[in-house]
Amino acid sequence: MGNQSSPEGFLLLGFSEHPGLEKILFLVISTSYLLALVGNTLIITLSVLDPRLHSPMYFFLSNLSFLDLCFTTSCVPQMLVNLWGPKKTISFLGCSVQLFIFLSLGTTECILLSVMAFDRYVAVCQPLHYTTIIQPRLCRQLASVAWVIGLVESVIQTPPTLRLPFCPHRQVDDFVCEVPSLIQLSCGDTSYNEIQMAVASVLILIVPLSLILASYAAIARAVLRINSAKGRRKAFGTCSSHLTVVILFYSSVIAVYLQPKNPYAQERGKFFGLFYAVGAPSLNPLIYTLRNKEVKRAFSRLLGKDGDSREN
C-alpha cells in the first residue's frame, strides 16, 4: 500500500497536552543544546590542537563528541520550533532525514561505545602491550567500522519504515521521527517492521552492550588484583567516565526501543528519548572533563596558562 502521508508531512505532538511543560522544556533544551555545542566543540578542538591528547582514547572521544554534535543538531532546532509555537508540523522529507540521521548516528554511538570499552580493556588488562595493540591505524579502522555500520543500519531500516501506510491524522506521539513512534502511527500491518526493529535492537543494542559488560567484568577482575589502593583508584579512574556515559546512554535507548506497548511506557519513552537526544550529548563533555586532569591541563594550555604545573 502506498504512503498517503508523503505530501502532507506529520504532526509531532510531544507534550502538546501540557503547554506549561512545553515552555519549561524549551528553556531546558535550549540550555542543554548550548552546553552540548560548547562542550563537544571544546573536546574536539583540544583533541586536535594539543599534541599530548593525540592518543587512542582521545581519538575515540573526539569521534564521540562529533557524533553527539551531529546527533543533537539533527533534532533540537525543529524541536525548539515545535515547543515554542502552536505549529508542530514537520514535512515528510524533514521527517525522513531526521529518521535516517537518528538511526545512523544512534547505531554508530552504540558501536563506538563498545570500541571505547575495548580500548579501556586493553589499557587496564594489557598495559604493557597497549601501544602495540591499539595503534593509530587500528583506531581509524575501528572508528570507520562504527560509522559504516551506522550508515548501513539506517539504509536498511529507514525505507521500510517510511513506506508504512500511516493513519490520516498523521500525529506522531513523540518529539522526533523515530522508528517506534512511526510504527505506532501506522494503520496497516507492521509485523515486518516490528521484527526488523527487534532484530536490530538485538544486534545494535544487546550485542554491543554485552561486549561492554564483558570488557568491564575483565577490567574489574584486573583492578581487584592490583595490590595498592592508589593503583586501583588510578585504573578505575581511566574507565569511570566511559562507564558513566555507557550507563546513561544505553539505559535511555533501551527504555525507548525495548519498552512494552502501553500508554504509560509511551509517555515515559518521550522523556528517555529527550534524554539520549539532548541530555546525553550535553552531559558527556562534562563527564569526561570534570575528573580528567589531562583535559583540564590541555584547556589551560589552550588559554596560555601553565596547566602542567598543577597536579591536583
SS3 string, the chain, reads CCCCCCCCCEEECCCCCCHHHHHHHHHHHHHHHHHHHHHHHHHHHHHHHCHHHCCHHHHHHHHHHHHHHHHHHCCHHHHHHHHHCCCCEECHHHHHHHHHHHHHHHHHHHHHHHHHHHHHHHHHHCHHHHHHHCCHHHHHHHHHHHHHHHHHHHHHHHHHHHCCCECCCCEECCCCCCHHHHHHHECCCCHHHHHHHHHHHHHHHHHHHHHHHHHHHHHHHHHHCCCCHHHHHHHHHHHHHHHHHHHHHHHHHHHHHCCCCCHHHHHHHHHHHHHHHHHHHHHHHHHHHHCCHHHHHHHHHHCCCCHHHCCC
Q: Which range scores top for mean pLDDT: 72-86, 155-169, 224-238?
A: 155-169
Mean pLDDT over each residue of the chain, to the nearest integer: 85
Q: Please tell me the pTM assigned to this model.
A: 0.87
pLDDT of residue 3: 42
User: Model confidence over 296-306: pLDDT tens digits?
Assistant: 777 777 777 65
Q: What is the pLDDT of residue 260?
A: 61
- The model's confidence at residue 311, banded by pLDDT at 50, 70 and 90, is very low
- Residue predicted with more confidence, 120 or 271: 120
**What pLDDT does residue 161 have?**
93
Question: In this model, does residue 211 exceed pLDDT 90?
Answer: yes
* Residues 48-60, mean pLDDT to the nearest whole number: 88
Position 310 scores a pLDDT of: 46
Confidence of residue 111 (pLDDT cuts 50, 70, 90): very high
pLDDT at 31 over 90: yes
- Among 222-226, 267-271, 306-310, where is mean pLDDT lowest? 306-310
User: Does position 237 have pLDDT exceeding 80, yes or no?
Assistant: no
- Domains along the chain with CATH numbers: 10-304 (1.20.1070.10)
pLDDT at 185 over 60: yes
Over 90: is that where the pLDDT of 217 sits? yes
Residue 77 has pLDDT above 60, yes or no: yes
Question: Could you report the per-residue pLDDT of 165-184, keeping only the tens digit for each?
Answer: 988 888 888 888 888 889 88
